Structure 1
Amino acid sequence: MADIVIPGREYAIVFAIAALVTYVATGGVRLLATRIGAFTPIRDRDVHQIPKPRMGGVAVYLGVASAILVARRIPALSKAFDSSSALQGVLVAGAVIVLVGVLDDRFDLDAVTKLFGQILAAGVLVLYGVTWLVVWVPSADGGSSVTFDQTQGALITVLITVVLANAMNFIDGLDGLLAGVATISGIAVFIFSVHQFMVSGNDTVSSEPPLIAAALVGACLGFLPHNFYPARIFMGDSGSMFIGLTMAAATITASGQLSSDSANFGARSTVALLAPVIVVLAVVFIPLLDFLLAVIRRTKEGRHPFSADKRHLHHRMLAIGHTHRQAVLIFYLWAFVLSAGSVSLVFARWQVVITPIVLALAVAMVISMWPWVRARRLGRRRAEEAQWAVARRERGVTPRERGNDAGRGGGESAA
């Protein structure tokens, strides 16, 4: 492993600046959104009852942009800017997609217009060098690389960015849900990219992903106090699409630009080289699953795949009996289990981590479904009591039998 010092204090500064700027800016953005009428209307699929301002993504963008611009002046992080223009690309593409989101937050753009804006922003990322060029596949000798040409890499980058932007948008349905899940996912990308930074010994290209991730995590945490239940402001499409684009940039720079010398990672090279793909899948699992289920469901019903309804995963959590906060915290749990499980594969063999991952997934499943199980048990008990009451009326029980029945009922209740 290369002898390299991780600029932890500098990353902490980036995180703190993003959090502070976002927290302060959110109040001003809320006032601006209120003044220009950028409110979320009350629709059948919504869970809130009072119109609230959106455009929170503007504050998130300001936090990320401020942190990246300050990082440019920090000597330990400046090499990330000298090696490529990827970080500048995040700022420019982010501005494009936030502008599209603001217009949608205010005027409710149609799906085609928003899709065009997403593709445009993804194209800006490509122009600034954020392109997925290399993917690793396992083999008998420890793994080999497959390299894409510029056109293939550009198409893959645009696809990933558009999918992530829409997937994050789909999950943004409960107060604090997107900001919290993005925070957990961003931490996972940060941990993995720092590990890659350490083993590569490259303080130029390899230092870009942790910088992007640190800024994004800070901005999401800075926004969360304003957005957690009960929220005072919503992300809006400006926030969800920007988070998706930024997450795409972080994961692409972390896992799409591995060079041929990455084979020197050590005995667990195959797992280490495949870990970026695992992290990407874990990061987008919840919103992507929700996205795919919604598209399939709407297509089968003969509706537009991007039309809205009230049957997303977060709506189903409320329907089975969870409170608003419980549903959000359970999504946090799933995001943590999936992200932590994937990143742990970089540091340990799969035989070591598979048991804790399976146990954690089982616990998350039980917690998620417990209200539904409890409701079914209560329903069966009430049905049995109703049947017992009907049977007693039909056969005409004596007072003594009523006393015995009461005793049995009291015993069952006590049990």
Structure 2
Amino acid sequence: MTYFYDFMLNPYILAFLGGLLAFVLANRIIPVIIYTVRVKNLMDEPGDRSAHSTKTPTLGGVGMFVAFAVSLLLFGILVGLERPDLVKLLSLILATIILVFLGIKDDLIALAARKKFLGQLISTSIVIFLTDVRITSFEGLLGIGELPYLVSVLFTVFVFILVINAFNLIDGIDGLAGAVGIIASFSFGLFFLLNNDFLMVLVSFTLIGAISAFLRYNLSATQKLFMGDSGSMVIGYLLAYQGIRFLELNLSEASTFTISNGPVLLLAVLSFPLLDTLRVFIIRAKDRRSPFDADRNHIHHRLLSLGFSHKQATIMLSIV
């Protein structure tokens, strides 16, 4: 039993097994979702902005979340996380449950932007106030160091909501949000591996496993499925959470591996969704339209208009 426990406490084994379980579970759950959505005709209807021309099952985010949450809970219990980490784990799952239900409602009947923002604010507040997960310092970026508590809370809320909606906005072609999510989560996951942070290793690699299984169907010609807002918002939220925990751990004296200019690396890892969102907001502002008006000015839309396929555009942007 002691050997098994020591085996499980190897962070690299934990990362592999957590990701594998999430992948296997998602592969079992997603076909059930596809069947149910088709039977109930809960399909995504192509519109003026749609990059697709046929009805397609949505709610893939539900399958990803269930696989992620079950894997995270199971391995969190197996490795015997300490009380503070268990509180963080449960708070994180509770917060993402709220986003999943918000996303489901928005995917099926459309949800007012104000209500989506309120839900995102509640989810963000849960981890900030229950577990004190927040950005405490700019580490000298722009000449700013330690942040006052109120500024720290408000800025953390802003970062969460910005990243959630940035990922929601790039989910416009097959594979893109999932591929970028895997790259970003893997980048943070390597840092957590090097610092033996078991909870965050699990968060990073179970998310990778769940997204990888989803991409198998999202890129399929016969069993295509969209993640919907229930998927893109959760991925954005979990990446924002990982990014903030990365900054926290990078400042910790207990860390065995740190990086100079952590905020710069965080911006680099999340650069594509953030820059694309900033770009379309500027274009809409120049046209004197609301920054939240839908259009086809995203980078992935431009690549499609140049003749690239969904897969080609996704691969190109992922490499960049």
Q: TM-score, normalised by structure 1?
A: 0.69
After TM superposition, give the deviation of residue 47 of structure 1 in Å: 1.5
Hey, what's the Cα distance between the residues in 2 that align with 1:255 and 1:24?
35
Partner of 1:261: 253
| Residue 193 (1) aligns with residue 192 (2) | yes
| Residue 217 (1) aligns with residue 208 (2) | yes
1:290-329 equivalence runs, <5 A: 290-329=276-315
User: Is the contact made by 2:139 and 2:145 (CA closer than 8 Å) also made in structure 1?
Assistant: yes
User: Is the contact made by 2:37 and 2:58 (CA closer than 8 Å) also made in structure 1?
Assistant: yes
Letter in 2 for 1:12: F
SS at match of 1:308: coil
Hey, what's the Cα distance between the residues in 1 that align with 2:216 and 2:206?
17
- Cα pair distance change 1:110/1:263, threshold 3 Å: closer
Hey, what's the Cα distance between the residues in 2 that align with 1:54 and 1:190?
28
Hey, what's the Cα distance between the residues in 2 that align with 1:130 and 1:26?
34
- Cα pair distance change 1:80/1:156, threshold 3 Å: farther
Partner of 2:98: 96
SS at match of 2:67: helix
SS at match of 1:261: coil
Letter in 1 for 2:62: V
After TM superposition, give the deviation of residue 181 of structure 1 in Å: 1.3
Partner of 1:152: 151
User: Is the contact made by 2:280 and 2:291 (CA closer than 8 Å) also made in structure 1?
Assistant: yes
Q: For residues 269-312 of structure 1, what are the alpha-carbon distances to aligned partners after superposition, in whole Å with 9 as ceiling and x for unaligned?
A: 6xx142x3233212221111111111111122122211111121
Hey, what's the Cα distance between the residues in 2 that align with 1:29 and 1:126?
32
Hey, what's the Cα distance between the residues in 2 that align with 1:294 and 1:145?
28
Q: RMSD between aligned alpha carbons?
A: 2.4
Structure 2 gaps of 5+ residues are 1-8
| Residue 277 (1) aligns with residue 289 (2) | no
Hey, what's the Cα distance between the residues in 2 that align with 1:229 and 1:302?
39
User: Is the contact made by 1:133 and 1:150 (CA closer than 8 Å) also made in structure 2?
Assistant: no
Partner of 2:229: 237
| Residue 15 (1) aligns with residue 19 (2) | yes
Count of residue correspondences: 310
- Cα pair distance change 1:130/1:34, threshold 3 Å: farther
Q: For residues 101-158 of structure 1, what are the alpha-carbon distances to aligned partners after superposition, in whole Å with 9 as ceiling and x for unaligned?
A: 000000011222211111111112213315224325359xxxx994444433322221
User: Is the contact made by 1:37 and 1:106 (CA closer than 8 Å) also made in structure 2?
Assistant: no
Q: For residues 136-183 of structure 1, what are the alpha-carbon distances to aligned partners after superposition, in whole Å with 9 as ceiling and x for unaligned?
A: 5359xxxx9944444333222211111111110111111111111111
Partner of 2:164: 165
- Cα pair distance change 1:216/1:172, threshold 3 Å: same
User: Is the contact made by 1:130 and 1:252 (CA closer than 8 Å) also made in structure 2?
Assistant: no
Partner of 2:240: 248
After TM superposition, give the deviation of residue 82 of structure 1 in Å: 4.4
- Cα pair distance change 1:184/1:83, threshold 3 Å: closer
Hey, what's the Cα distance between the residues in 2 that align with 1:65 and 1:263?
27
Q: TM-score, normalised by structure 2?
A: 0.89
Letter in 2 for 1:55: L
After TM superposition, give the deviation of residue 242 of structure 1 in Å: 0.4
SS at match of 2:50: coil
Greater radius of gyration (CA) = 1
Match of 1:27 among 5, 24, 31: 31
Match of 2:74 among 70, 95, 99: 70
Hey, what's the Cα distance between the residues in 1 that align with 2:268 and 2:27?
27
